[in-house]
């Protein structure tokens, strides 16, 4: 369960954090809704040059594989949900339900046109 939240936070930092940094660097807040090379340039150019880059680089790696991580975390989350339901651990079931639902929402958002555009921009 903590793995789901860690991967989710890492993915959001690597995708939306880099998008926000690129929009600030380009001075184009409208690019937050339509990211692309023409408006924001290369996403790697927006990363900080300092030691803080280590925060964004693993996040970009996870966001490259958002579809795979999404389906795997949802699959294992559903398996663990069934197990906790059978065991009767309702508190863990509720926590797992929240983290699995967050990954379902992130995967669904990644499958939208905006998510596809963001993913394509990050991969360029």
Q: CA-to-CA distance for 37 and 7, rounded, in angstroms?
A: 26
- In tens, the pLDDT along 47-92 reads 877 777 777 888 888 888 999 999 999 999 999 999 999 999 999 9
Give the pLDDT score at 78: 94
Helices 113-123 and 90-110: crossing angle in degrees, nearest 10, is: 80
Give the contacts of 66 (CB within 8 A, at least 6 positions apart): 11, 15, 106, 107, 110, 115, 119
Domain tally for the chain?
1
- In tens, the pLDDT along 4-57 reads 899 999 999 889 989 998 999 999 898 888 898 888 888 888 887 777 777 788
Tokens of 86: 């059978």
| CB atoms inside a 10 Å sphere around CB 85 | 14
Would the pTM count as exceeding 0.75?
yes
Give the pLDDT score at 51: 76
Give the pLDDT score at 28: 87
Write the Ramachandran bin of 35: left for phi over 0, alpha for psi from -120 to 50, otherwise beta. beta
The pLDDT-based confidence of 95 (bands split at 50, 70, 90) is very high
Q: CA-to-CA distance for 61 and 123, rounded, in angstroms?
A: 10
Quote the domain boundaries for residue 115: 2-123
């Amino acid at each position: 369960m903590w793995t789901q939240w860690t991967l989710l936070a890492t993915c959001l930092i690597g995708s939306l954090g880099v998008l926000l940094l690129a929009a600030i660097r380009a001075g184009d807040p409208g690019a937050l809704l339509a990211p692309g090379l023409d408006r924001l340039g290369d996403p790697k150019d927006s990363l900080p040059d300092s030691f803080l880059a280590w925060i964004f680089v693993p996040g970009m790696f996870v966001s490259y594989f958002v579809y795979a991580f999404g389906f795997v975390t949802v699959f294992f989350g559903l398996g663990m949900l069934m197990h906790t339901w059978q065991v009767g651990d309702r508190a863990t079931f509720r926590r797992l339900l929240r983290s699995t639902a967050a990954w379902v929402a992130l995967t669904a958002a990644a499958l939208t046109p905006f998510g596809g555009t963001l993913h394509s921009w990050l991969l360029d």
